[in-house]
Amino acid sequence: MEKEFSRVHSASDITISVIILAAGCLLVALPVSTPVNILGFFLLITGLVLALILRTGYKDETGERFSKTEKFFPAHCRDSVCKALPSSPDSIDFAEENKGNGLRVDAFFNARTGNAYVRVYEYVPYTYQPCTEVMKIDPDKAKKLLSK
């Protein structure tokens, strides 16, 4: 299964940007002192920049939206992590998590549909290269992996 995920705006991204923009507009529109107007312009610019660059959601080629979690493991855990993912993802030794960054496990989850996908990346100097295909997993068996 060759599945690609692209970054998109999530509902929280849009909400944060709109709130900051509204606060900036309000401060600029009110007849108050100059420092408050300057703060309003700063909030307007910040809200616009966030609206353009903040993208924490993900979607696949079908348009289904996902949230992403990343877990990092030492490189020596590669075989055990890759073997555990298809059948029992919660059997991964999470005591080894964050003790190295040789492996990155990306987990994409849609709570509405219950679809979950994972992919393992291996660190090659300056970049992470995929070392497994995108795998569909059972979200009931991968609660530790899907939690933030």
State the average pLDDT for the chain. Answer: 89
HSE on the CB side for 88, CA within 13 Å? Answer: 4
Task: Report CA-CA distances (Å) from 126 to 106, 121, 122.
Answer: 18, 13, 11
With 80 as the cut, is the pLDDT of residue 23 above it? yes
Q: Is the pLDDT of residue 2 over 80?
A: no
40 close to 32: Cβ distance less than 8 angstroms: no
In this prediction, residue 42 has a pLDDT band, given cuts at 50, 70 and 90, of very high
Q: Does pLDDT of 61 surpass 70?
A: yes
- Where residue 44 falls among pLDDT bands split at 50, 70, 90? very high
pLDDT > 70 fraction of the chain, expressed in percent and rounded: 99
Place of tokens 């903040």: 54
CA distances (Å), origin 112, targets 58, 66, 85, 98: 14, 9, 22, 29
Say whether pTM exceeds 0.95.
no
Statement: residue 8 has pLDDT above 70? yes
